[in-house]
Amino acid sequence: MLDNLRQYQFLFWELVKRDFKKKYKRTTLGMAWSVLSPLLTLLVMKLVFTQFFGRTMPHYTTYLFCGNLVFTYFKDASTQGMSSLIGNAKIFTKVNVPKYLFLFSKNVQTLINFALTLCVFCLFCVLDDITFTWRWICLVYPIFCLVLFNIGIGLILSALFVFFRDIQYLWSVFTQLLMYMSAIFYTIDQYGPATQRLFLLNPVYLFIRYFRQIVIEAAVPTVWSHLHMALNVTIALALGAWMYKKYNTKFLYYV
């Protein structure tokens, strides 16, 4: 795979630039929407949910931002990755190139957006009197795992989308449900131990919780949390790689 990336690195970066330009084509603010979009979503959520959940919670703005930051990155990467094969069918049906390059280019584009928003997040933490500690270095781990997890989910969705176009509508409904199940604007403390353990079955919630523990609680998550996260990433990547390997030649007949 690494050899293929080196061989087709020019095509890969051209795809990244094309995707980035295409996303902001004919917009007045251009790349500024990478930052403005999550900030506007954060503002709406803060106005709506502060009265219900954030009256007594310290650093509620940061709490919301952690959830929105992680979930938006996951949703954008998975949704855009889903159409990566279909959207580039005219290329790989004529030229023999590794098909995962198209998915990787989508993930790089969404990763750039995530990095820009992460910078704004750090600024909000300063305004919210969050203490920066050495534990912030640990955020490298969930970010790295989240990138790999998004690639794995993207591999799965893009393969399914070739054969079942209905998956785009099902995924839209599922991500909406997942947002409410990821404790973005509320805490799980109000639930019993059994229900709280059910939240741990949600991989996205694991990433959000990790961010909150480091940023708000200034605590490093347990070893089990790290292993649990790594397991989810491994399963997603393994399943996605298997699907691409199994159906690689069949993609040409369905696009």
Q: List Cβ<8 Å contacts ≥24 apart for 15-21.
A: 15/88, 15/101, 15/102, 15/105, 16/105, 16/108, 16/109, 18/105, 19/80, 19/105, 19/106, 19/109, 20/109, 20/112
Flag whether 18 is in a domain.
Answer: no
Higher pLDDT, 153 or 38: 153
Flag whether 170 is in a domain.
Answer: yes
Query: What's the pLDDT score for residue 169?
Result: 93
Flag whether 3 is in a domain.
Answer: no
Residue the block writes with tokens 């650093």: 59
Torsion over CA: 47, 34, 177, 210 (sign): negative
Instruction: State the first-to-last Cα distance of the chain, in angstroms, to the nearest integer.
Output: 23
Flag whether 137 is in a domain.
Answer: yes
Q: Is residue 208 over pLDDT 90?
A: yes
Give the residue among 192, 193, 200 at the shortest CA–CA distance from 222: 200
Query: What's the pLDDT score for residue 6?
Result: 65
From the number of C-beta atoms within 10 Å of its C-beta (0-12, 13-18, 19+), residue 175 rates as middle
Cβ atoms of 185 and 53 within 8 Å: the answer is yes
Torsion over CA: 141, 144, 148, 154 (sign): positive
Q: How confident is the model at residue 95 (pLDDT cuts 50, 70, 90)?
A: confident
Cβ atoms of 4 and 98 within 8 Å: the answer is yes
Flag whether 164 is in a domain.
Answer: yes
What's the average model confidence in pLDDT over 216-234?
94
Flag whether 84 is in a domain.
Answer: yes
- Calculate the average pLDDT of the chain: 84
Residue the block writes with tokens 């404790």: 183
Indicate the number of domains in the chain. Answer: 1
Query: What's the pLDDT score for residue 245?
Result: 85
Cα–Cα distance measured from residue 185 to residue 107, given in angstroms and rounded to the nearest whole number = 26
Flag whether 43 is in a domain.
Answer: no
Query: What's the pLDDT score for residue 249?
Result: 78
Cα–Cα distance measured from residue 160 to residue 166, given in angstroms and rounded to the nearest whole number = 9
Q: Is residue 5 over pLDDT 80?
A: no
> Of the ranges 57-61, 112-116, 229-233, which one carries the lowest mean pLDDT score?
57-61
Question: Domain range for residue 79?
Answer: 49-253
Flag whether 38 is in a domain.
Answer: no
What's the average model confidence in pLDDT over 89-96?
74
